[in-house]
Amino acid sequence: MKISFHNICLVVMAVAAMCGCSLNATAQQLKAENIDEIVKAMTLEEKCHMVLGRGMHFNDEAKFPGTAGSTFSVARLGIPETYCADSQQGLRMNATRAWDHNDYYPTDFVASMTLASTWDREAAFMVGQGIGNEVREFGLDWILSPAMNLIRNPLCGRNHEYYSEDPYLSGTIAAGYVRGVQSEGTAACPKHFVANNQETNRNNNISQVSQRALREIYLKAFEIMVKESDPWTIMTSYNKLNGPYAVQNRELLTTIVRDEWGWKGMFVSDWNAGDDAVAAMLAGNDMLQPGQDKQYQAILEAAKSGKLPMEVLDANVKRILEYVIKTHNFKGYKYNNEPDLKAHAQTVRQVGADGIVLLKNSGILPLMGKRVALFGCTSYDWISGGSGFGGTSVGHYTVSLVEGMRSAGYDVYKPLIRAYTQHIAAEEKRLFPNGRPPFSLMPPARADEKQFTADELNAAIDGSDVAIISLGRKSGEAADRSEADFYLKEGEKQLIKVVSEAYHAKGKQVVVLLDICSPIDVASWQNQVDALVCTWQGGQESGFAVADVLSGKVNPSGKLPMTFQVKYGDAYADKNFPAHVDDKTMGSMFMWGRNKDDAKKREPQANIDFTNYEEDIYVGYRYFDSFGKPVAYPFGFGLSYTTFAYENMCVSEVNGIYTIKVDVKNTGKKAGRNVVELFVAAPNSKKLNKPEKELRNYAKTSLLQPGQTETVTMLVKVEDLASFNEKASAWKTDAGRYNFLICSSANDVEAKASANVKGWTKKVNNVMKPNVKLNLLKR
Ligand code: BGC
């Protein structure tokens, strides 16, 4: 342990408590009913410690080695230490411990993007519940997830940790996850609040966002999540937003979230976010993690001088204690280190399969032939999740594609297994002459594709009924992807061309699997292949989940939670994103962002020092749809092995609540589930500068047998239809006739009904103004 002033204080106070020379020998013990008295009984020093974390727990001596941190304890007042860990794909913790023969493997759940592609709140609940349960049974209290920043650009390095380009889908999936976590008595921590949409220079970049885009897009996702799931904690982000750091912004944390939304939980900073501990306290950010000595000093001095009023510090401490009393450690839960890993593996497999999106199918899928040849390094080096704190990388195993296909009864062509094993081993030596780093925030380099001789290829064609080519992309925390990463590498293009031509020449087909962390180019090459399956990253059971879908055991029902654009640059947001930053380590954890002294010496650089969100509200499909731009695959797209019809759609209204009903009928030959997407188009949208249509609700049917019909009911409130009017500083639903659209993607309207909507307005605080003039896109 580092010897520091902070640690010395902790020791002194612990000794004082142990020797019975406590500050108050008869001190009462923390209970749900006496938090105010406990705050009063705390010394100033104890309060100043309470608002700081206790460092990261990476060393072997920690109680839970490899976890993110813990909270301060005051034994004399019955305030225990509580423990937190990352993250949304599972509990990040060392699986083995020094001097202990047991292992502590958690489940490697699915990447967030996979979860969002299910469009299934229940799936989100199940994953959250599984993670919440493992946190509890391994002895901790608090999981630092879900991450739920908006997917503004396909190159953001942490997209695999996020859900969608749409705030409603993001907010509702996050809410399902939070409810699941908290149903186990574990604290959830939605993050990173807010507008933290790039990793480059992430600790210093200023997101410059209009009040309207903030309210309608970036805050909206969190607002929906807060109102639907009431998380016990929320993590503030690294970036600055319209001026100050998010963690130090009182308008953001207190005026909007606490006063307007009525949220009563505890804000915790991202790890080492911000530069002014006192400002963070004043803003309403209750806890700073992982805690620094200089922060302790600053808070203590400010409290003594009155710069930090005691009632503010007390309120911060109170909210922390309100979290503490709900935790497992406070309740003395006897954990057993034996969560039901088998049941959780089942969840991973099921959700992993339900999150797979079928993009193209000539009819080859589900696979009839039993002999498959697997091409592409990724087929033998499957990516189960992203890197950084968001991926667990500590799961026990990842079921390979080979294992998955074999267990589904397929015969995997063996000479390719051998050839790829040798090729990947040689590439590994070339790329990592000194071995792989044990853990990295940014993804390690991946092997270049192997190319084949005509003889090798002919033998593979003879030995298989179909070729499956897997393409992989992995990204992580602290760096964004580059534009080049959006496109296929030369070796990948060559592989697709050669394999497709050769298989087609012999009357056989080619399936491509996309084991990716974020959208890539498919438009330029997909005509060469017969089927395209976006598997995303499905955690430890990936191989089984993919085989379940390829074999038809599971009928795909996933839908894209974001647009697949034709080219990088097609989205308006692309021009304000660091797609071409040479020094990708600029945002790295190890540098804590761009050197501030260096930054002072030069003109602020666009997309590095600041990023102007000039696309305004036109993020994702809101842009492509409203401006008539072609896409490779629209938001909400996904095929099935069966077909569905939508009948008897109707809309009715009572007291400003619209009820939309539609009958969904399975008109095909296979059982399947269907996602029903409800978009609403406002009247005069172009004139009023509103998106063409917006997702306002969705539902997922149960498994419908051929010929079976299910009536789906969805609600929309008049206030859900509101846009944010900056001039009036108000939410406003314009009166008029609105179109309610049942869609199978943002580009495919299946049924329509309209209804008169009365006007509705709600005034809110005129806060969070950008401090520069933004050149905003308008329709
Ligand atoms: C990440 C957070 C994470 C925290 C603690 C930060 O670098 O941005 O998402 O929860 O570390 O590990």
Protein residue with its CA nearest to atom 7 in ligand 1: 271
Q: What is the pLDDT of residues 447-497, one digit of tens each?
A: 999 999 999 999 999 999 999 999 999 998 888 999 999 999 999 999 999
Check pLDDT > 70 for residue 124. Answer: yes
Q: Tell me the CA–centroid distance for residue 270 and ligand 1, in Å.
A: 6
Question: If you average pLDDT over residues 747-759, what whole number do you get?
Answer: 97
Is residue 158 lining ligand 1, measured as CB closer than 6 Å?
A: no
Q: What is the pLDDT of residue 681?
A: 98
CA of 123 to the centre of ligand 1 (A): 24
- 166 among known catalytic residues: no
Q: Which atom of ligand 1 is nearest to the CA of 390?
A: 9
Is the beta carbon of 161 within 6 A of some atom in ligand 1? no
Tens of pLDDT along 173-185?
Answer: 999 999 999 999 9
pLDDT-based confidence at residue 252 (cuts at 50, 70, 90): very high
Atom 11 of ligand 1, nearest CA residue: 271
pLDDT at 596 exceeding the cut of 50? yes
Residue closest via CA to ligand 1's atom 6 equals: 271
Task: Read off the tokens for 392.
Answer: 């667990």
Indicate the angle between helix axes 121-137 and 341-354, nearest 10 degrees. 150
Position in ligand 1 atom list of the atom nearest CA 68: 12
Supply φ then ψ for residue 534, to 5 degrees: -90, 105
Pairing of strands 709-717, 610-612: unpaired
Q: % helix / strand / coil in the chain, to the nearest 5? A: 35, 20, 45
Count of beta carbons in the 10 Å neighbourhood of residue 369 = 13
β-bridge pairing 206-208 and 240-241: parallel
Query: What dotted CATH number matches 639-763?
Result: 2.60.40.10
Whose alpha carbon is nearest atom 8 of ligand 1? Answer: 270
Specify the pLDDT at position 598.
61
| pLDDT recorded at residue 583 | 52
> 22 falls in which pLDDT band (50, 70, 90)?
very low
For position 600, what pLDDT does the model report? 64
CA distance 629 to 644: 27
**In terms of pLDDT, which residue wins out, 582 or 693?**
693
Given a cut of 80, is residue 514 above it in pLDDT? Answer: yes
What single-letter DSSP state applies at residue 746?
T
Q: Please give the pLDDT value at position 647.
A: 98
The region of weakest confidence among 7-11, 40-44, 286-290, 386-390 is 7-11
In 3D space, the residue among 223, 226, 142, 146 whose CA is nearest the CA of residue 184 turns out to be 142
- Ligand 1: centre distance to CA 271 (Å): 6
Q: Which has the closest alpha carbon to 274: 249, 241, 300, 248?
A: 248
Cβ of 68 below 6 Å from ligand 1: yes
In this predicted structure, what is the pLDDT of residue 1? 35
* Low-confidence winner among 150-159, 270-279, 428-437, 650-659 (lowest mean pLDDT): 428-437
Report the CATH fold assignment for 350-562.
Rossmann fold (3.40.50)
Query: Residues with Cβ < 8 Å from 460, sequence gap 6 or more?
Result: 373, 375, 413, 415, 416, 452, 467
pLDDT score for 375:
98
Q: Give me the pLDDT at residue 27, please.
A: 79
Q: How confident is the model at residue 601 (pLDDT cuts 50, 70, 90)?
A: low
Q: Tokens 């104890």 belong to which residue?
A: 46
- Taking the C-alpha atoms of residue 286 and residue 50, their distance in angstroms, rounded to an integer, is 9
Confidence at 2, pLDDT banded by 50, 70, 90: very low
User: Which pLDDT value is given to residue 388?
Assistant: 80
Share of the chain above pLDDT 70, in %: 93
**Averaged pLDDT, 268-277:** 97
Q: Is 271 in the pocket of ligand 1 (CB under 6 A)?
A: yes
Q: Which of 778, 688, 764, 774 is nearest to 219 (CA)?
A: 764
Of 141, 166, 270, 734, which one is the catalytic site residue? 270
pLDDT at residue number 445:
85
Query: Which of 56, 84, 86 to mutate to test ligand 1, by most ligand atoms within 8 A of the CB atom?
Result: 86
Positive or negative, the CA dihedral 312, 316, 321, 326 is positive
CB atoms within 10 A of CB 692: 19
Expressed in angstroms and rounded, the spacing between residue 192 Cα and the centre of ligand 1 is 9
Looking at residue 396, its pLDDT comes to 84
pTM of the full predicted structure? 0.95
Mean pLDDT of 196-214: 94
Average pLDDT over residues 187-199: 97
Mutate to test the pocket of ligand 1, among 88, 144, 145 (most ligand atoms within 8 A of CB): 144
> Which residues 6+ apart lie within 8 Å of 687 measured at CB?
none
Residue 605: its pLDDT value, please?
A: 86
Mean pLDDT, the chain, as a whole number? 93
Mean pLDDT of 378-386: 95
Among 421, 604, 514, residue whose Cα is nearest residue 114: 514
For residue 87, which atom of ligand 1 is closest to its CA?
A: 10
Q: What is the mean pLDDT of residues 312-337?
A: 98
Q: Is 434 exposed, middle or buried (0-12, 13-18, 19+ CB in 10 A)?
A: exposed
What are the sequence ranges of the domains in the chain? 350-562, 639-763
